[in-house]
Amino acid sequence: MRRLLLVLLALSAFCAPAFAADVPACGTKDAPASCVSMTSGGVTVVTRGERREYVTAGLAYDSPLFKGFKAWSAVDVFAVQDGAATNLGLARSFRVVKVDAGVQRKVGGRVQLDAHVGGTLSIEGEIGAPLDPRQWDALLDVKLLIVDAGHIAIRGGHDGAVGGWGAGIDVSIPVKDAPALVARYQLPFLRDPRGVLPWVITAGVRVRLASFRIGK
């Protein structure tokens, strides 16, 4: 586990995703507000036998709910691993539009629970099209919040990128006056037919282009 965390942090220092949902709201603790944020960046997706780079863009919306809950949704253009291909002993990534939505709530000063679902749609076209063009996620994240809305999270559930049920680690480290560092490691519970784990690492930077507060 210690070695894995070191790998994630090292990759985030020189690789490049823009996960729109990771961007903090433009409201404050005392005056929460609905918010729309736009992000951009680049992404490196590393699978067992492949590494590819992509330009990314994202749009996210979040809004406070009752009793400390917050709802959010996000649309990102980046890349994921082909979940169906991993089950056939292959490892490759492809460009997607990914849609996510979830509900989150703090359960302590620095602990936050985030339940979310999502799906992907390939934008590769006929060339490079994935075996599974529509993958779905249903995940629960347990996040340890760090300074300036960053986090280190452990997640589990159904993860389309690894072809089924799995777990992972998600890291977001904001840097003052600079792009945020982001890393994500996903690992399935089941091995593929060759006995190999179809893991995937996504790591890089995220830039928030603009945020718009909705309402008061």
Q: Which two tokens stand for residue 3?
A: 């070695």
Kindly tell me if the per-residue pLDDT of 13 is higher than 80.
no
For 26-92, list the strands marked E by DSSP.
Answer: 34-47, 51-64, 69-81
Note whether 96 and 121 are within 8 A (CB). yes
Share above pLDDT 90 across residues of the chain, in percent, rounded to a whole number: 17
Q: Residues, the chain, total?
A: 216
Q: How far is CA 108 from the centre of its chain?
A: 23
Average pLDDT score over residue span 153-171:
88
**Exposed, middle or buried by CB within 10 Å (0-12, 13-18, 19+), for 151?**
buried
Give the amino acid at 42: G
Better-predicted residue by pLDDT, 156 or 183: 156
Give CA–CA dist 65/141, Å, rounded.
19
Residues in CB range of 183: below 8 A, 6 or more apart:
8, 9, 11, 12, 169, 170, 171, 201, 202, 203, 204
Q: Which two tokens stand for residue 83?
A: 């979940």
Q: Tens digits of per-residue pLDDT, 46-97?
A: 876 678 888 888 888 888 888 788 899 999 888 776 666 655 666 567 788 8
% residues pLDDT > 70 (the chain): 68
- Give me the pLDDT at residue 12, please: 39
Averaged pLDDT, 142-164: 85
- Asked if 162 contacts 199 with a C-beta cutoff of 8 angstroms, the reply is yes
Banded model confidence at residue 202, pLDDT cuts 50, 70, 90: confident
- CATH class of the domain whose range is 2-214: mainly beta
pLDDT at 18: 41
In degrees and rounded to multiples of 5, residue 93 shows phi and psi of -115, 165
Chain centroid to CA 53: how far? Answer: 16
CB 76 within 8 A of CB 184: no
Interval 17-23 mean pLDDT: 51
Q: Which residue has the higher pLDDT, 117 or 17?
A: 117
> Which range among 6-15, 84-93, 161-170, 204-213 has the greatest average pLDDT?
161-170
Average pLDDT over residues 32-38: 82
The tokens for 144 are 């340890």
**pLDDT per position as a tens digit, 173-200:** 877 766 777 888 888 887 666 666 667 7
How would residue 11 be classed by pLDDT, with cut points 50, 70 and 90? Answer: very low
